Amino acid sequence: MKRRDFLKAGTAGLAGAITGSTGMLTWSPRARAATITKTLYITDGFINQIDGTSVYFRGYSNSSGTLDVPGESMIVQEGDTVEITLVNTLATEHNFVIDGMADSGVVGAFSSRTFSFTAGNPGTYMFYDNANGVYNQLLGLHGGFAVMPQNSSNELYPGSRTFVQQQFWLFHDIDPAWNDRLRQGLTPNTAYVPRYFTLNGLGGRPPGAPGNADPNVNSMIDPRSALHGSIGDRTLVRILNAGLAAQSVHVHGNHMEWLTENGQIRPDVWEKDCLYLDGNRGILDMIYPYDVPPDSWPPATHGEYPMHLHSEMSQTAAGGYYLFGAITDIFFE
Amino acid sequence: MKLNTKKRLQRPVYAMGMGGGGGGGMGGACFIYDNNLQANNTLVTPDVVFQRSIDMNIPLTMDDGRTVNMWGFSDGGGGGMGGATFPSAAMRVTQGQIVHSILSVNMMWAHTIHHHGIEPGWESDGVGHLTWDVRGTSFTYQWRPMHAGTYFYHCHTNTVLHAEMGMYGALIVDPPEGPGTLYENGPTYDVEAFWVVDEIDSSWHTLPWSAGTCGADVGLNDLNPDYFVITGVDGSGSSAFGAAAISPVVQVGQKLLARYICAGYHPQRIDFGGLTGTVYMSDGRPLPNPVQATELRAHSAERYDVIFAPTEPGEYIISTDIIHWVSGEVLGTTHAKVTVVA
Ligand SMILES: [Cu+2]
Ligand SMILES: [Cu+2]
């Protein structure tokens, strides 16, 4: 069992305050609520795509000198006080909202603001910027946010099916023509046609491609995205869609236990190999059970399988480049 | 039998990256892993064998008189060409059988078979970049389906193009009771229909098998369908009304099982035309509590198994809207018909 991401900040959890820096702002069960502090720098820049195109983005970054798209995911506990300092390094207005939980108010150009909120119902959320309709979200101002139940390390919500490790799959799609208009302060004036598709900010780099061995480049092996486990290592995956395209999330090797849809607990847990993920902030939770692949003969305990979107246009980049889109690997170890 | 439980992944040597085919050229092929092919060393004596080869020239005539070229799997081996239908010939097996799917491909192109929803060992999963593509040889996939239900098989090489071109067929796993029962100790049915709804962008249907793989912009990010098909028939009008497997006749008192497969890439909404069905399964698994439905939404590769027990004679039009993945606009609609007689 790999608990590395899950318990990274384990002992820090008993302190009164937890400060996220460059590491994942993570979580372990605590007897009492804490105050979580985090500074997010709103920055911009260009990210090179596989075809050489340089695309403009904005992000909630961990320092004023980086561009983090998506923003680093956060896991807190129900009842925690979350204190966010937004440092807006740009000439445009921005904000930070979590539907039903947090709203920074507008942070003006080149200014900053500290605000706090109480972590509400356990579950999976997106933090994003709606200061200019959907545009800032599309430019990259989004990230995953999770609230764990009090005193529980293995449930999505009190009484849910249990897991031993958890991670985020945050999908995005990008129309570079829109990003370029927005960079210039203009409103997009063409139909939205996504041309790049990412998982936690990266696309696939299949064997033989530049960056194939680099987890900072290749979504197939990015530790934020790829699943690693042995039989029984039930893995909660919090699935979010910051893009506008509805996607079909498909895994090989096992069926998924489908727990929630857009913040609602499903009345029954269905076992599915594809899940319908709404565009524009659709959210799902599922557990990948890491059972022996049921149809293997002889029974398999090791192997490497894909997660890919079955809305297959999302598997491309720049109109071709199959396998360079939103895809990762599932390792049975 | 020796179980292969300790086997480690052997990462093959990837010989083919950029180049080879000439990066960007329409004739080139990149990130195709046929050179990695290893013999499947898990094979045991099968209970069932399916032979499949490749047909890249399947004319499909639409209601407007136009012919669109489809690709598919022929029912038979030898790497020969021709003879396939759209969709490809179904595979139908019984839960617990050991099955071999033998894919034969000539030197002209690469393909695989992925049995969607079936979860075999990784070497039998048919995912090109994680194992190998098949080209100029044959390969045997081994699987032992343990859950009855509705699946489909499709190619997983340059998948965005190959599945859109029609390289898929139904895969049905019957429970031990055999056809007529949906899953082990599950509900029974008397009549069976297949609603496999797909959209076609005819501008993709003149592309070569490796289109876009070396980086050429061939528009595979943007599927703009102009034809809408149900189980291989133009569904925009009434052309599917005469096909019994799509538009069945059911007597009052009989139970109709519809196996609905969302085979396209855009979301769909299927409306049962005034009938109420009971959804018993999705994606090859029974629902803990079946649900009543007059319509369903689905996205790419989802399956729903719905049983109807109609009580009123009449004609019921089953319409499925294909909905743009970004705009939500209805792009087209397919139609089937259920005729209920006294
Ligand atoms: Cu193929
Ligand atoms: Cu599939």
Smallest CA-to-CA distance from B149 within B113, B196, B95 is with: B95
Cβ pair A37, A18 in contact under 8 A: yes
For B289, which residue in chain A has the nearest alpha carbon? Answer: A268
Helix (H) or strand (E) holding A76: strand A71-77
Q: Mark yes or no for CB contact A319/B118 under 8 Å.
A: no
Q: How many CB pairs under 8 A join A and B?
A: 221
- CA dist A189 and B111 (Å) reads 40
Q: How do residues B166-199 score in pLDDT, each as one tens digit?
A: 999 999 999 999 999 999 999 999 999 999 999 9
Mean of all residue pLDDT scores within chain B = 92
Report the predicted TM-score, pTM, of the whole model to 2 decimal places: 0.93
Ligand nearest to C-alpha B263: 2
Classify burial at B218, counting beta carbons within 10 Å of its beta carbon; exposed 0-12, middle 13-18, buried 19 or more: buried
Query: Start-end ranges of CATH 2.60.40.420 in chain B?
Result: 26-184, 193-341
Distance B301 CA to ligand 2 centre (A): 6
Of residues B224 and A18, the one with the higher pLDDT is: B224
Percent pLDDT > 90 in chain B is: 89
Query: Quick check: A174 contacting B, CB < 8 Å?
Result: no
> Is there a common fold for A3-151 and A168-332?
yes
CATH class label, A3-151: mainly beta
Q: Tens of pLDDT along B125-177?
A: 999 999 999 999 999 999 999 999 999 999 999 999 999 999 999 999 999 99
Nearest to A245 among B125, B301, B325 (CB): B325
Contact A307, A205 (CB under 8 A): no
Report, at the CATH architecture level, how domain A168-332 is classified.
Sandwich (2.60)
Q: Do the chains contact at B288 and A208, CB–CB below 8 Å?
A: no
> pLDDT by residue (tens digit) across A9-65?
333 333 334 443 333 445 677 778 899 999 999 999 999 999 999 999 999 999 999
Does B288 sit within 8 Å of A209, measured CB to CB? no
Question: A159 Cβ partners below 8 Å, 6+ apart?
Answer: none
Question: What is the nearest CA distance from A177 to chain B, expressed in angstroms?
Answer: 14
Render pLDDT for B3-48 as a digit per residue (tens, 0 to 9): 333 333 444 434 344 433 333 334 589 999 999 999 999 999 999 9
> Is B53 at the interface with chain A, CB within 8 A?
no
The CATH number of B26-184 is: 2.60.40.420
CB B256 within 8 A of CB B190: yes
Residues of B in contact with A333 (CB under 8 A): none
Strand partners, B230: B197, B233
Of A290, A224, A195, which is closest to residue A251 (Cα–Cα)?
A290
pLDDT tens profile A314-330: 999 999 999 999 999 99
Count Cβ atoms within 10 A of the Cβ of residue B1 and give its class: 0-12 exposed, 13-18 middle, 19 or more buried: exposed
Residues B240 and B227 sit within 8 Å (Cβ to Cβ): no
List beta partners, residue A144.
Answer: A126
- Give the number of the ligand closest to the Cα of residue B155: 1
Name the CATH superfamily housing domain B193-341.
Cupredoxins -  blue copper proteins (2.60.40.420)
Contacts of A251 in chain B (CB under 8 A): none
CA distance A256 to chain B (A): 10
Where exactly are the structural domains of chain A?
Answer: 3-151, 168-332
Token pair 């999976």: residue: A124
